Amino acid sequence: MILRRSLLALGAVAALALAGCGPKAATGAAQDTITFSILSTESAQNMESYWTPILADMEKQTGLKVKPFFSGSYSALIEAMRFKQTDVGWFSNQSGLEAVRRSNGEVFARTFDPSGTDGYKSVIIVPTNSKIRTLDDLFKCDRTLNFGMGDKKSTSGTLVPMVEVFLPRGVKPENCFKTVLSANHAANLFAVANGRLDASTNNSTALRLNKDRGEGQADRVRVIWESPTLPEDPMVWRKDLDPTIKEKLRQFFLTYGQGTGPEAERQRANMAKLSIGGFKPADQAHLIPVEIWEAAEILGQAEEAGDPAKIAAAREALAALKAKQAALVAKAGVAAPAAN
């Protein structure tokens, strides 16, 4: 079941409780205004301070009025786009996939990291002084440990750990730990660093940003597991967005922070606070690795349930996705990835 690191080769080539937005967040009618949704992987206040200069530059370059919409709920972002309360946004991979499926979303770009590493990793962390040294220590499953997970639609906080760690061991978090709490990466990092959680999922970007900002929590945790490299975050807009607005947005993102000179350096400094080095063109193929992890999770659940029909259907769906990925990779002229 474990998907190998080379699964990500494709990435190199290719209701509503809307907190803080209010009832007038809906947009789309006025062609000179867009609402830009932002996933709050930490406090909305912090995210607003990091994104405000970028959104101001977006207004200046595109001539559009840009209204921000911040939410720590992945589902809220998906539903906001579905009901045309937002027009474009910065998503995680799995929430971006759901926006494509359910909210008439379309991937048009993706981020890349300023470190030069094209991708990031899901991790499991424990306090530095913890007696937990390995996954075997973590999975004694005597219901004495408190564990933190990410949002259900988080790629690194839930999907990948479930596929790569829990399912191969036949472990359900709720049957293994004393408590299982769901929170964003920053909250889980703080909880582990301060000893309120014995372990939690997280990701390498959140840990690095915490170190770079000198906040201190990342220095008080230890990584006991890391995943294969995951694709960077997608930028998603609504398919029915005005084509003129789409082109303005495309040009903004694909040129932002590029080139030389003081202005480009200023823009890169804005993005560096979010561990973003810039943006590259992308399309729906960017999400295929995440679809494969998702299909692997469905297969694992079917095998656990022992349902022959569901197992056969899940295997067929997983094989079809891998074949689609291999065809795209081959077309791009690189070696096809290997995956279990």
Residue 339 dihedral angles phi and psi, to the nearest 5°: -150, 145
Percent of all residues in the chain with a pLDDT value above 70, rounded to a whole number: 88
CATH 3.40.190.10 range(s) for the chain read 16-117+231-283, 122-226
Q: Of 6, 48, 73, 76, give the one whose Cα is nearest residue 273.
A: 48
Question: Strands 122-127 and 146-149, how do they pair?
Answer: unpaired
Q: Which of 32-46, 237-251, 269-283 has the lowest mean pLDDT?
A: 32-46
Alpha-helical (H) ranges within the chain are 44-62, 74-82, 93-102, 135-138, 160-161, 167-169, 173-176, 185-193, 204-212, 243-255, 262-272, 288-305, 308-332
CB 178 within 8 A of CB 143: yes
User: Dihedral, CA atoms, 186, 191, 192, 198, nearest 10 degrees?
Assistant: -140
- pLDDT by residue (tens digit) across 4-57? 434 444 443 333 333 334 433 444 444 699 999 998 877 778 889 999 999 999
Instruction: Give the pair of three-digit tokens for residue 144.
Output: 């004495």
The tokens 């943006």 sit on which residue? 279
Instruction: Give the pair of three-digit tokens for residue 287.
Output: 């999400």
- pLDDT by residue (tens digit) across 173-220? 999 999 999 999 999 999 999 999 999 999 999 999 999 999 999 999
CB 282 within 8 A of CB 108: yes
Residue 137 reports pLDDT greater than 90: yes
Residue 284 reports pLDDT greater than 50: yes
3-state secondary structure of 171: coil
Q: Is the dihedral of CA 307, 309, 312, 314 positive or negative?
A: negative
Model confidence at 115, pLDDT cuts 50, 70, 90, reads confident
Q: Residue 159 gets which letter from DSSP?
A: I
CATH of 16-117+231-283, one of 3.40.190.10, 3.40.30.10, 1.20.200.10, 3.40.50.620: 3.40.190.10
Percent of all residues in the chain with a pLDDT value above 90, rounded to a whole number: 75
pTM above 0.85, yes or no: no
Rg for the chain, CA atoms, rounded: 20
Residue 166 reports pLDDT greater than 90: yes
Cα of 224 vs its chain's centroid, Å: 21
Alpha-carbon span 105 to 127, nearest angstrom: 39
Assigned CATH class of 122-226: alpha beta
Q: Is the dihedral of CA 157, 283, 2, 276 positive or negative?
A: negative
Alpha-carbon span 114 to 93, nearest angstrom: 19
Model confidence at 286, pLDDT cuts 50, 70, 90, reads very high
Give residue 160's identity as a one-letter amino acid code.
V
Q: Of 102, 58, 99, 112, give the one whose Cα is nearest residue 237.
A: 99
- pLDDT by residue (tens digit) across 70-110? 998 889 999 999 999 999 999 999 999 999 999 999 999 99
Q: What is the mean pLDDT of residues 57-66?
A: 97
Q: What is the mean pLDDT of residues 55-66?
A: 97
CB 256 within 8 A of CB 57: yes
Alpha-carbon span 7 to 224, nearest angstrom: 22
Cα of 223 vs its chain's centroid, Å: 19
Q: Of 61, 59, 40, give the one whose Cα is nearest residue 49.
A: 40
Q: What is the mean pLDDT of residues 135-148?
A: 96
